[in-house]
Structure 1
């Protein structure tokens, strides 16, 4: 015990351990960057050699398509977060967006980037090394208990180390973290970033050689700067800014174009590799090797026409590759484009003034164009300075980079990486503090929707029992589904003081007309009201309808989730579902029953039950299958596989023909199953919704589960929740038990019985009501239900009504089911619009989890009061 405590205390975040962890991160990031460099280089050499052994027009497209498809398959199958550059994902994670960064993401990104670069797509490896370094650091931070701030610092250090190792430029890694990713200059953050970046850059330089393989001696001997060149560097910065803005616009449009293709990620990458291979095969041999292309521009004395061709080809090829979502970065393409632009301006200057060589302008153009694309002018300046170690370039770099940055930002404001995140529905406001973003949350995003309530007619003694069986410290009091008060533990003190008897109604001790808020109140307003009135919780009303409650604990939990990247105030909003498949039958029914099909193992049984109910009520059957996707993708633009879903829906049509009922089917792509279901209920004018139910849930704060709870609360139709029993034939019931409590949903439960009785031979129906041992027995509810079944549904020869006594309703029902061998239980929901937990727990769940037979829970149409 002592050793466990000592170990946990030892690994608590401290400055010394943070430095040690930063050292390890620097080493790991450097090794991964070196591995990426040599592996992608080996595949690139293989591709180039193959293009000479086999006709290039055949070899290059084939290699590009096959390598691209393989990379896309790995990313799509094992880590979808590994697609693209990787820098936007790191930026989002550091802003507490719940985007996964883990060792699996790092491995998939590393392999995917190797295949992508080896395929010949004109993307860079620097972006992936940033992503890999950050993901490795995030995985490492999970090994030991750390704080959210410590985790963010390690991720930033890993990102800086990855970039430093990619460029052999430690200072660049540090500046990129500060300027673009974290924007934090605190001592521990800057210290860990410096250490990790230094180790990453130095180790990469020692083991992997200098990045970009520049001919430094030749360049250094020819770099000069004179004041008369200032107009040319300003023109270079201006053109770099204009073309960088055009390049950024092209990247966004390329991404949108690929999304409209509606094909899978592997096919997108295969298409990009195929097209890139065809174009490169048609270009001069120089274009087959990106490293050789850089050397050619910077030290090869190329012609103006050849450099212009390189710029145009590189511009187009990068747009083709990047839009596909291939795991590759934009650093290297931006530098090549900038070197071409700078070289062309340098040739013009040399013809007019003859002062500086085009190579100097090529280097300045690299920094200027990169600054305009990534909006990090300081990082851009330092990259070129570190890889050349030439101080003569600093002033020209400052002029070109700052000018390009100002022009590009004027044309397209904001960070490129932030724009890419916005395209995926993620909006990061980097100017707000954590506390500021937390208070922007609204009550409806934090409140508890499933809340135990008391009825105004209940006694104080029953309220005391509710407190003893619940973790709640306050109960809303409802009367006719309207909030009339709230009871807290302090209100119970009136009983101890002898002011009221335990048999008095609860309305005598409640706080009448409590302070309330609406779902749109933000947390800053909620916190103010809680502190101003010295209370611990606030009921939430939508109009006059009670929809939830929010407490101080809920706010603390929301902040903890945010700090741990489990939730995010500005996370992508749920977008409408998109219909990808639909079949229609003749509309000849007098109503519609919607069946939500989710589990192939239970789909056939649910469909049989739906057909039985629809046949009796002369309804049409609407079958829905929902394919869920990430909130960061748009349903209308995300390719999905519909073959398995269509197979299930085909079985529904077969059942419909057998029962001679119309069956409509549809498949929707959506962010959440519940929202897609509610949209279908509204669009198709559904009368009854039938869906499967596990019978229990382990989700904290939920009664029936995320999907069911949402649908129960919002569906404007009758609802049937079915927990299937062990019977192979769900419609061959022999004995049916119907617990009665007199609530409004009891009639809906009774309405279902004729359908069960019509298609089941010799069905015995038993109505029952559970009373406690002390309660006075009143069988009016049972007698009224029996009369209704006899008079309206003509089931006189199949019904008996019996009351029983038990300590609790679930206990009595469960024992009766087991002793009476019932094979189906039909439950009416509680008397309120929401299926709330009863005082002694969630009665439907307790019954469903305690019996092996089929359980059907019914709820009447939700009323929006």
Structure 2
């Protein structure tokens, strides 16, 4: 006869509310996201109209707020050459004497504010950023409006949140909601704007931030209709497209080329920034945008339609109406003047230029690859380049679909964007966004993963048999370290089996006779069913390294920082072991 030990039943833990909780406080922030969305839409309208006004005044001497390509207004050569220089001077002065935060394309600045400045943005940035961007783009700068509107909408959300009694997380949610609202109103792309917020700005996927962002993007999109229109920005006729397996396979090649283009333009931007940085000892950075403006002007003399936002050029490329000379000119000249001038520190966005050069690359491929319909390869090139430059492949796909309404191209775009993303990650250490943050001394990770401390409970790692001190009894012998644990530092103090406080190892050693005077009567405690994340947060908030584990007033053990580190280390070791064995991590 054999005796088999019964397997103990697993501990029945309290039933949680769910993966996430939706509290009334979240609903309050969602309500505040409604006016934030309206402000974002209004900011987008103002920025686009201001760009049109400056463009017409500078290049045609007329009053109009319609968005137009500067290269189509027939300005004399000296205006084409000199306007970007003058615009660069104005932006440099605004940055030096207004706020240095307006330099660059806006997204790294928004990320920095979110991660390193508690989502606090100065109110003046909400005025200076769109104004400087309008000056830069309106005088011929080859930039997009989306980076400035991300910073502007985010600044509006942040300023409103600063007037409210909200937490840092809630302020971040409202700031990103403003950014997404501005994007949605600019491009009529609410889903892509939300995805961009999740992939690039939020660094989390939780109801407390996701719901306000969606609310603001929806409000901004609804308001866009009466002020900017409801149609796609670059509508494409897909009725004659015939996309088969051959085109799908070739999208791998198109995506790889888009990734190489992304690597090249990102390298160009930062090579330009390094070159301007070497001027720092001889020429103040305030003057650098003017030098970048000179490069823009020279490029405009070669390819006039490379100037400005260039929505009309993007539309021509995506509908197959561009001649080979324009395609090559845009691909070469637009890339050069955008990369060099952005590195000079002027104000302008990256998405619209990425759209244009990506569409130009795809249009060029269309002259070589088998035809799948007018503009098909340009649409694929756009998605691939966005996925590679921004390191946001899903945003690249959805943005392209919402901009063009080319819904049948979903699978080819996914293939191309993912391929470009893979090439970019393989060849380039950081994206055009994160490289700038790294150069300023910051560090961030955009990889999502499950924290092992989120999935482990206290009773799985605690010391279940710690030495305790009883009131009115002699002190026990203080244990030393073992092979499994460091020496116990915190000792629960019991009175009739009930926890009445804790005392440290140092106090017991220094004053074994008067240790009772060193008892902390209100210690940090945790429960056996708390996750290790809860323990981590409580220990960090109190500035201690260990806590008793208590249930119904009675101690069950002690948990320490070393226990948390052991759990994290064991999870990392298992991941490395799987990787070395050829598994996935």
TM-score by length of 1: 0.48
Q: Equivalent residues in 2 for 1:239-638 (5 A)? A: 239-262=257-280, 263-284=283-304, 287=307, 290-299=310-319, 301-349=321-369, 353=370, 355-430=371-446, 530-531=544-545
After superposition, what is the alpha-carbon deviation per residue over 1:748-788, rounded to whole angstroms, capped at 9, x for unaligned? Answer: xxxxxxxxxxxxxxxxxxxxxxxxxxxxxxxxxxxxxxxxx
Partner of 1:33: 44
Map of 1:62 onto structure 2: 82
User: For the Cα contact (< 8 Å) 2:126–2:153, is it kept in 1?
Assistant: yes
In structure 2, the partner of 1:538 is none
Q: Structure 1 unaligned runs (5+)?
A: 1-11, 438-485, 498-508, 510-522, 535-865
Aligned residue in 2 for 1:233: 251
Q: Which residue of 2 aligns with 1:147?
A: 167
> Which residue, 156, 160, 163 being the options, matches 1:136?
156
Cα distance between partner residues in 2 of 1:99 and 1:324: 26
What displacement does 1:46 show?
Answer: 2.9
**CA apart distance, 1:414:** 3.7
Contact 1:63 1:119 in 2 (8 A): yes
Query: For residues 793-804 of structure 1, what are the structure 2 equivalents within 5 Å?
Result: none
Partner of 2:17: none
Per-residue CA deviation, residues 286-335 of structure 1 (Å, 9 max, x unaligned), is 75772332233233622223311110011101112210111211100111
Quote the Cα distance in structure 2 between the aligned partners of 1:115 and 1:533: 58
Could you say which structure has the greater relative contact order, defined with CA pairs below 8 angstroms and 6 or more residues apart? 2
Instruction: Indicate conservation of the 8 Å contact 2:401/2:407, yes or no.
Output: yes
The 1:15–1:222 alpha-carbon spacing in structure 2 relative to 1, beyond 3 Å, is same
Give 2:242's match in structure 1, choosing from 224, 233, 236. Answer: 224
The aligned length equals 445
Q: Deviations for 1:548-580, whole angstroms, at most 9, x for unmatched residues? A: xxxxxxxxxxxxxxxxxxxxxxxxxxxxxxxxx
Give 1:421 deviation, angstroms. 0.3
Structure-2 change in CA distance of 1:147 and 1:69 (3 Å): same
Shift of 1:394: 0.6
CA shift at 1:223, angstroms? Answer: 3.4
**Deviation sequence 1:444-469 (CA, Å, 0-9, x none):** xxxxxxxxxxxxxxxxxxxxxxxxxx
Contact 2:140 2:307 in 1 (8 A): no
Separation in 2 of the partners of 1:325 and 1:260? Answer: 13
**Do 1:286 and 1:292's aligned partners in 2 also have CA atoms closer than 8 Å?**
no
SS at match of 1:103: coil
Superposed CA deviations along residues 661-688 of structure 1, whole A, max 9, x for unmatched, are xxxxxxxxxxxxxxxxxxxxxxxxxxxx
Unpaired stretches in structure 2, ≥5 consecutive residues: 1-22, 62-69, 454-505, 519-536, 549-585
Distance 1:66 1:305, change over 3 A: closer
Q: 1:169 aligns with which of 170, 174, 189?
A: 189
Contact kept, 8 Å, 1:95 with 1:430, in 2: the verdict is no
Partners of 2:91 and 2:188 in 1: how far apart? 26
Report the equivalent of 2:108: 88
Q: Counterpart of 1:101 in 2: which secondary structure?
A: coil
Structure 1 position 119 matched with structure 2 position 139:
yes
Structure 1 CA distance for aligned equivalents of residues 110 and 308 of structure 2: 31
What CA deviation, in whole Å up to 9, does each residue of 1:200-250 have, x standing for no partner? 122123311358842x2x533333311121232121111111111111111
2: CA distance between counterparts of 1:99 and 1:146? Answer: 12
Distance 1:390 1:371 in 2: 17
Distance in 2 separating the partners of 1:59 and 1:329:
23
CA contact (8 A) 2:306 2:333 kept: no
| Worse overlay, 68-77 or 143-152 | 68-77
Q: Tell me, what secondary structure is at the counterpart of 1:121?
A: coil
Question: Is 1:79–2:102 an aligned residue pair?
Answer: no
Cα 1:391–1:259, aligned 2, differ >3 Å: closer, same or farther?
Answer: same
- Which protein has the bigger strand share? 1
Q: Distance in 1 between matches of 2:248 and 2:353?
A: 26
- The 8 Å contact of residues 137 and 308 in structure 2, kept in 1 or not, is answered as no
CA displacement 1:8-36 (0-9 Å, x = unmatched):
xxxx9813321111101100001001111
Tell me how far apart the structure 1 counterparts of residues 119 and 30 of structure 2 sit (CA, whole Å). Answer: 25
Name the residue aligned to 1:727.
Answer: none
> Does structure 1 conserve the Cα–Cα contact (< 8 Å) formed by 2:33 and 2:213?
yes
Change (3 A) 1:45 1:299: farther
Is this contact kept in 2: 1:127–1:330, CA < 8 A? yes
- Is residue 106 from structure 1 mapped to residue 126 from structure 2 by the alignment? yes
C-alpha distance in 2 between matches for 1:527 and 1:19: 28
Give the TM-score normalised by the residue count of structure 2: 0.69
**Offset of 1:378 from its aligned partner?**
0.5
